[in-house]
Amino acid sequence: MPLVLACLKTILLFTLTGLSLFRLAPRAIREIHSWTDRILLSLLTGIAFYTLFFLLAQGLFGLPLTEVTVWGVFALILAAGAGVEVYRRRKHLQTGFEESESEDKDEARPPLAGRALKEILLLGTLALIFFFSLNIRLQNGLKWPDKLLDADPYRHHIRTEALIQTGQLSKFDPYLVGEVPIFELQGCYILAGVIGVSGPFSAWALWAWGAQVFGALSALSLYLFAKLGLRAIVQQDLGPAPKAKKKGPAPPYLRAETVATFLGLIAAALWGASPVHILRTNAGFSEAYAIPMLAPALLFYLWAAQSRIWGDFVWFGVFFTALAFINPVPAVFVVPFFAVHAGYVFWKTRDPRWIYGNLIAGGIFLACLLVWNWKFLATPLFTGALATGKAGTEGILKAMGQNPTFVEKLRAGWETFSREIFRNLGFFNLAGGWTGRFFGALGLNNLGTKVFLDTLAVGGAFAGSFWIFWNGRERRPRVDEGTMFFFLSYAFFFLILFLIPFGFISFTSKYYRYLLPISLSLSCMFAYFAWRVVLALARQDRKRLAGLVLATLLALAVNRDGTTWGGWILNCTQEEYAAADWINKHAPKDAKLIANWYTGDYLRSLTLRNVVISDYARVEVRVAMEKFKLNTPILPRNPDKVVEYVRDNPGEYYLITAKWGPWGRYQDNPHFELLESFGKNPKTQARVFKVHREAPGTASEGDSANSSRGPASP
């Protein structure tokens, strides 16, 4: 029950904030006719708002992120929304949430009971998609419920921990001794901090389980984008509603709103089962917190391209900025698509509002970036870009090497598409419970069927992206801002992915985050492909509705049988965990640990002790140290140099050697007392040394007394 209440508090915080903001600027939400959709968009809006608000408020005014400030801002937003609504009603103005004009002015509004039933069915289906998507992701985490599943989440945890404790974002990496700059855009820590203090939730819980929850939520945000983005195109596919007869009402008619709802549900269910999507949303990575912002950013960009209304540009800027600051990778990969499509829109419309509107959206992003550079970066922005870029490049080249010849580039491109992209963009799982038994009963549970289904997924989406250009009802092409948007969102990304191997790299599992935007587009375009198949095969509205219901049920089955991509392993060794447990039990809270930077990532998170980096600095820190005189102690592996540092800097020190070092002959030096060893394998063995300022027998009386006491209890 406490967990349910904590989740409910956070959901209400975001949702009511979003609803209040739409009271202040109601135009965008008038395009949304379902209250379920409005609430979902309001939830996403609240998430984006608090991420950017505390970034700007803390940077410009020093406002701390605490329980008082979070709920105080919530109360102010709620009061502002209510005040605007009261003012409108007193002035006999329309309220905030009137719908836009119906697609059929002559059609009678459905009775309240019918509308309520539709909302309940919609809400139930979305809940089912959320449950299936979350269940897939939780299975991997439940293998190690007390662990974080990679190095990155340990860094995320400790930075969020520091934010919740102090209320302030850190310029330098917390719990690392010295000036170690944080280069990442820290929107994910702001968002995690808001959830942490509003729930409340611990920073550990946020990074152990939060990514899975936000991964499932992002599937629902895709539902909203697919439904509202494809609705106008579906309306053209269906044509105008039949007119009412002289002696009776108009005949039943399959409305675009209904069809688009089904397409949104299909796309959401398929994306929830996408291996690429699962990979990046089940292991504690910050992409999971960012991806729910991707779909609304695309939606408002599309609306702005179609109508060029100022409010749409503002919301596009807000959601894109929230996306980029929570995690920049998905944002970076949609920028080329935006650039190409924006050029097409201006060439087609010659509308200066398009230029000014995109400048507004870009201005929102740049304003936040300037505040970030001014207040939160320890080194200039370009240094951070150079450092992270160099680290990423070195990591990629180290992982897979270059493709120096054209033949090798061609081979890498072919392998990327035939072996990697097809395998990881499709969403069918032949090992699933339902799908596995079905294809097994037919004798088709084999590699050939897998290849066929993956080809169907990728090829079906291609067919949908081309089919969208053809107005089958009027038998003529339709090339406009909307159809070109969906075509480029899929075909253009495929072109980029095909060219990457011809540059210098091919893909490995670590870099499948680059496929996130195209996996979203694939789900949307496959849903539209399913609709065009139904439209071509069925002439009657009832049969078309039955076809959409069947397609939705099949998508739910695919969603239910989704599987974690490959399975995730622990990067932190069992020996390192054992060493961290020992430190927690025996070392004082103010003890300082000396370790290799990679092991240090784990130790500061697992023990909440300060860590001095030994051996060498990570690439990003090395680049910063080359350009600026940072007070960043990087201890060499020479034991005498370590002792020299310990003598000059008071404190109680423990040195931990593990899989990645530090590599020095500490056991031969009398200043290093071996306290405990963990593991028999010399490659992964972890050892804990107590570092003495003076060798035993030569220390001063006070130091000898302290040494004789041994490790202190926390």
Region of 667 (left: φ > 0; alpha: ψ -120 to 50; beta: rest) is alpha
Short-list 693, 583, 607, CA closest to 647: 693
Pairwise pLDDT comparison (323 vs 567), residue with the higher score: 323
> Measured between alpha carbons, how far is residue 604 from residues 147, 174, 258, 521, 662 in Å?
14, 9, 52, 39, 16
**Helices marked H in 376-476:** 381-400, 406-415, 422-425, 433-441, 447-467
What is the predicted pLDDT for the residue at 392? Answer: 54
Q: Which range, 77-91, 542-556, 627-641, is most confident?
A: 542-556
Report helix angle 352-375 to 381-400, nearest 10.
90
> Measured between alpha carbons, how far is residue 108 from residues 28, 113, 307 in Å?
24, 14, 27
Mean pLDDT of 407-413: 65
234 pLDDT above the threshold of 70: yes
Three-class secondary structure of residue 690 per DSSP: strand
651 pLDDT above the threshold of 60: yes
Q: pLDDT tens across 414-428, in order?
A: 666 566 666 677 888
509 pLDDT above the threshold of 50: no
Q: Which residues pair with 676 in a beta bridge?
A: 688
What is the predicted pLDDT for the residue at 400? Answer: 47
What is the predicted pLDDT for the residue at 332? Answer: 84
707 pLDDT above the threshold of 70: no
**For residues 512 and 500, what is the distance between their CA atoms, to the nearest angstrom?**
13
What is the predicted pLDDT for the residue at 280? Answer: 83
- CA–CA–CA angle 26, 31, 32 (5° rounding): 95
Measured from the Cβ of residue 121, the count of other Cβ atoms closer than 10 Å reads 12
Pairwise pLDDT comparison (609 vs 240), residue with the higher score: 609
Confidence of residue 322 (pLDDT cuts 50, 70, 90): very high
What is the predicted pLDDT for the residue at 711? Answer: 38
Q: What would the two tokens of residue 297 be?
A: 């950013």
**For residues 329 and 510, what is the distance between their CA atoms, to the nearest angstrom?**
13
Q: Are 452 and 487 in contact (CB under 8 A)?
A: no
Pairwise pLDDT comparison (345 vs 33), residue with the higher score: 345
What is the predicted pLDDT for the residue at 523? Answer: 95
Mean pLDDT of 702-707: 42
User: Domain 574-709 carries which CATH code?
Assistant: 3.40.50
What is the predicted pLDDT for the residue at 703? Answer: 47
What is the predicted pLDDT for the residue at 499? Answer: 62
**For residues 611 and 596, what is the distance between their CA atoms, to the nearest angstrom?**
9
Q: pLDDT tens across 291-314, in order?
A: 999 999 999 999 999 999 998 999
Pairwise pLDDT comparison (359 vs 87), residue with the higher score: 359
The residue ranges of every structural domain in the chain are 2-97+114-146+183-240+254-560, 574-709
What is the predicted pLDDT for the residue at 241? Answer: 75
Average pLDDT, the chain: 86
Q: pLDDT tens across 654-665, in order?
A: 999 998 889 888
Q: Are 206 and 13 in contact (CB under 8 A)?
A: no
Lowest-confidence range among 18-22, 44-48, 231-235, 500-504?
500-504
330 pLDDT above the threshold of 90: no
Short-list 170, 98, 75, 125, CA closest to 378: 170
- H or E stretch including 612? strand 610-614
Q: pLDDT tens across 574-629, in order?
A: 999 999 999 999 999 999 999 999 999 999 999 999 999 998 888 878 888 888 88
Pairwise pLDDT comparison (569 vs 644), residue with the higher score: 644
192 pLDDT above the threshold of 70: yes
What is the predicted pLDDT for the residue at 45? Answer: 96
Mean pLDDT of 156-179: 94
521 pLDDT above the threshold of 80: yes
What is the predicted pLDDT for the residue at 590? Answer: 94
Mean pLDDT of 192-207: 94
Mean pLDDT of 94-111: 62
